[in-house]
Amino acid sequence: MYATSSSTCVSVRSQLLSRIEDRTAKIGIIGLGYVGLPLALLFSQQRFQVTGFDIDSRKIDLLLHGSSYIHRILKEEIQVAREQGFYPTADYSQLSDMDAIVICVPTPLNEHREPDLSYITSTVEAIAPHLVPGQLVVLESTTYPGTTEEVMVPILEANNLHGLIAERNGEESDVVFYVAFSPEREDPGNTEVARRDIPKVVGGLSPTATDLACALYGTVFNRTVPVSTPSVAEMTKLLENIYRCVNIALVNELKLLCLRMGIDIWEVIDAASTKPFGFQAFYPGPGLGGHCIPVDPFYLSWKAREWDFHTRFIELAGEINTSMPYHVVEAISSALNHRSQPLVGAKILLLGVAYKADVDDLRESPALTIIELLRSEGAIVSYNDPYVPSIGRGRKYDLKLKSVSLDRLEEYDCAVILAAHSTYDYRKIVREAQLVIDTRNATRGIVSPNIVRC
């Protein structure tokens, strides 16, 4: 970092802006998961010196050796980044050398379905002792409105070693740092929209912080969208994902109704999609997964209670989506019963346990709940997933399963399609399996008496 002992806030800002523009700014990315690692690679591609920080020694070791642990990121991308100076480490003392620090850590729910900010708070506490004047600190982790100002900033101000304060009103001081929130907008498995083409929403604690964060992100994204405050940016992310959650809940509920009425919900959606305005297609499934959509509504519902507000509509959508794994298990049991086969002792093969097609992400996957429900009913459960070689222990599960081959499909009483991976040969699956339960419409166009679509 540059010296600031005799400089004003304006000169500090100018120095940081200049370093961003000429690509000499040092960028630190904290959290090298599904959000942080792709972001680190974007900055590396733009010739920035990028340091990645993570407490997971396995990730650090793999990256140091030019390997990848995320399916959609090729090892060649890691190797190119390493050649360009990308350096992964668990040594947080190196944060003092950074010009900008971007936080990309998880924000899960606890066992009471309430926000768990422990990853944010522990990360910010680790940053604070290494904070130096003029640094830009940006939070990307999805969270409730107010987190940046009410949680992150007070920790940084109370625990840094130089008496630094977050710049709020253009103060001309050599003891300021800059703070902004910019929600991640990763869409794992999406190969149609380049990461650079996803507009980046930015809300700074001050106009100066917004300008600096926009300048930083403007080097790797084709468009930045400045908003007035961090809270607006935080709420923007929640709106985006709650919008999807509510609409998915709607089609899930309509699917259940259509099943009773003997109507193909997928055909209905296709027909409705022909309308050139006023309709966007959403599709039903076995439940919601991923880090954002199943989680974000609960973040807002929790925060709303502080304002004596009950988000009934949002919570109802969450309840509908949460119930879908139970519907799948009931459909499996019913299909087996029609073949005089009880669920107890039945050999069930789940096809795809990632939360959606062609990703290796297990976070909040409905498959995990389905496995537990089937086991509790006495079924013998196996799975196949080309992207998930094993399921160990997670925040809410300890399943101890390994992916099995598809060589002997006929040995299972039932095969259940949960994630419609493009690598699967669905005609072969239908031909060889005794019974196929399709939760994703993956077998559409295939006619067979052993297919049950639910």
- 197 and 277 fall within a common domain: no
How far is it, in rounded angstroms, from Cα 148 to Cα 66?
34
Nearest to 320 by CA among 420, 242, 248: 248
pLDDT for the residue numbered 4: 43
At 25-37, the pLDDT tens digits run 999 999 999 999 9
- 276 and 133 fall within a common domain: no
Q: Is residue 319 part of a domain?
A: yes
At 104-126, the pLDDT tens digits run 999 988 888 889 999 999 999 99
- 161 and 289 fall within a common domain: no
- Residue 177 exposure: Cα atoms within 13 Å on the Cβ side: 29
The residue out of 203, 228, 253 marking a domain boundary is: 228
Q: Is residue 75 part of a domain?
A: yes
The average confidence (pLDDT) of the chain is 93
pLDDT for the residue numbered 253: 97
- 206 and 68 fall within a common domain: yes
- 156 and 263 fall within a common domain: no
- For the residues 260-268, what does the mean pLDDT come to? 97
pLDDT band at 7; cut points 50, 70, 90: very low
Q: Is residue 4 part of a domain?
A: no
- For the residues 256-281, what does the mean pLDDT come to? 97
pLDDT band at 172; cut points 50, 70, 90: low
**Measuring CA to CA, how many Å separate 392 from each of 139, 282, 388, 421?**
30, 31, 11, 21
Q: Which two tokens stand for residue 216?
A: 């930083």
Q: Please report the DSSP string for 378-426 in residue order.
A: T-EEEEE-TT--EEEE-SS-EEEEE---STTGGGSSEEEE-S--TT--H
CATH number of the domain bearing residue 295: 3.40.50.720
pLDDT for the residue numbered 395: 60
Catalytic residues: 292
- 285 and 381 fall within a common domain: yes
pLDDT for the residue numbered 42: 97
The residue out of 205, 228, 251 marking a domain boundary is: 228
Residue 367 has pLDDT above 60, yes or no: yes
pLDDT band at 10; cut points 50, 70, 90: low
- 278 and 163 fall within a common domain: no
- 143 and 269 fall within a common domain: no
At 197-248, the pLDDT tens digits run 999 999 999 999 999 999 999 999 999 999 999 999 999 999 999 999 999 9
Range of the domain at 65: 9-228
The vertex-304 CA angle with 322 and 355, nearest 5°, equals 25
Q: Is residue 37 part of a domain?
A: yes
- 162 and 132 fall within a common domain: yes
pTM: predicted TM-score of the whole model, two decimal places = 0.90
Q: What DSSP element (H or E) covers 52?
A: strand 49-53
How far is it, in rounded angstroms, from Cα 88 to Cα 195?
21
- Residue 114 exposure: Cα atoms within 13 Å on the Cβ side: 7
Residue 169 has pLDDT above 90, yes or no: no
- 252 and 215 fall within a common domain: no
Q: Which residues contact 65 (CB under 8 A, 6 or more apart)?
A: none
Q: Is residue 236 part of a domain?
A: no
- 329 and 430 fall within a common domain: yes
pLDDT for the residue numbered 173: 74
Provide the number of structural domains found in the chain.
2
Residue 6 has pLDDT above 50, yes or no: no
pLDDT for the residue numbered 243: 95
Q: Which of 23-32, 262-271, 357-366, 439-448 has the lowest mean pLDDT?
A: 357-366
Q: Which two tokens stand for residue 64?
A: 């140091």
End-to-end Cα separation, the chain, in angstroms: 58
Q: Is residue 1 part of a domain?
A: no
Helix axis angle for 75-83 and 36-45, nearest 10°, is 50
At 45-94, the pLDDT tens digits run 999 999 999 999 999 999 999 999 998 899 999 999 999 999 999 999 99
Q: Is residue 235 part of a domain?
A: no
- 186 and 301 fall within a common domain: no
The residue out of 200, 228, 256 marking a domain boundary is: 228
Q: Under a CB-based contact definition with an 8 Å cutoff, are residues 392 and 407 in contact?
A: no
pLDDT for the residue numbered 2: 41
Q: 454 versus 1: which is more confidently predicted?
A: 454
How far is it, in rounded angstroms, from Cα 104 to Cα 181?
11
Q: Is residue 165 part of a domain?
A: yes
At 377-419, the pLDDT tens digits run 999 999 999 999 999 876 667 888 999 999 999 999 999 999 9
